Amino acid sequence: MKKLCLILALLWANLGLGQTKVVSTFTVIDYWAQRLTPSSISHKSLIPSGGELHGYQISPADLRLLNGAKRVIGLNPATEPWLADWAKANHREADVIWLNPDPSQLHLHAWLNPNEAKRMVSALSLALTKSFGTPDNESQVLLNELLKEIDSTALTIKTLLKAIPESQRKIIVYHPNLESFAEYFGLQVVATIVDSSVAESADPSLQRYSEILKLIKSQKVRVVAYDEGQSSRIAQQLALDGELPPPIALSFEYLQPPGKEGDTWPSMMILNARRIAEALQK
């Protein structure tokens, strides 16, 4: 009996049963990984819904999840340095799939730009197909569905913004996360309240605050936004001092929990675009 138990335990370990096969660093990538793999391949996001890449620190439970994964998907060693460190320390570099080779400011939040999204899911599909030996035609069907979904999301958002003249599409956001979205959809991010995408909770200096206030007036900015779940205090004050309507909450950093609006990539994108469009139209 003891021997049988031991054999079963070894088999369990060898097959990797009970372990998550594809671990993604955050919910947006996990959504794509799940869409691109057959349902038999288990998947999980390391950072759960509500958590952000910025300031994340690896926990012992997360370490176990990483160690047990067959493949780990991240954006870029600049956005997830802890993953690059883990891969190096454990000689797992070959098992990490990086989706976004360009770490410039414009592309730090590359998942918000439909062209970048399509590029990333195409690369991801190729890497996952190779990793799990999924038949090519099966992978192609899954990829095509996802590419179509991205195109139709982009079209819906363009329609939402259509009525707003380009000269009025001016917005101030809390941290530098909207550039790649703005570039694609023709919005203008006039300023960000904080400079760094790492220290999200830091307040701007008094000098920066008055510079932003001046920009609101000289550029005729129409909307101030803050990151949902983070403090809205500075944004509220700016809107008040700039004689604008109250700031809007945007949530581009993660997907909502299942069942809530914003729980998929298209629904997250459209939810935020609708908030922006409504605020710009006021």
Give the residues lining the site for Zn ion (CB under 5 A): 177
**Shortest distance in whole angstroms from residue 197 CB to Zn ion:** 5
**Shortest distance in whole angstroms from residue 252 CB to Zn ion:** 7
Q: In this complex, which beta carbon is closest to Zn ion, that of residue 142 or of residue 172?
A: 172
What pairs with residue 24 in β-bridges? 45, 73
Rounded Cα distance between 81 and 85, Å, is 6
**Shortest distance in whole angstroms from residue 65 CB to Zn ion:** 22
**Shortest distance in whole angstroms from residue 236 CB to Zn ion:** 20
Burial of 271 from C-beta contacts in 10 A (0-12 / 13-18 / 19+)? middle
In the DSSP assignment, the letter for residue 46 is: S
Q: In this complex, which beta carbon is closest to Zn ion, that of residue 41 or of residue 265?
A: 265
Q: In this complex, which beta carbon is closest to Zn ion, that of residue 32 or of residue 111?
A: 111
Burial of 105 from C-beta contacts in 10 A (0-12 / 13-18 / 19+)? exposed
**Shortest distance in whole angstroms from residue 212 CB to Zn ion:** 19
Exposure string over 200-230, b if 16+ CB within 10 A, otherwise e: beeebeeeebeebbebbeeeebbbbbbbbeb
Q: In this complex, which beta carbon is closest to Zn ion, that of residue 153 or of residue 177?
A: 177
Q: In this complex, which beta carbon is closest to Zn ion, that of residue 86 or of residue 252?
A: 252
Closest residue to Zn ion, Cβ-based? 177
Q: In this complex, which beta carbon is closest to Zn ion, that of residue 32 or of residue 254?
A: 254
Residues 255/229, Cβ–Cβ less than 8 Å: no
**Residues whose CB falls within 8 Å of the CB of residue 44, separated by 6 or more in sequence, listed in order:** 20, 22, 23, 24, 30, 65
What pairs with residue 170 in β-bridges? 188
**Shortest distance in whole angstroms from residue 247 CB to Zn ion:** 17
What pairs with residue 73 in β-bridges? 24, 97
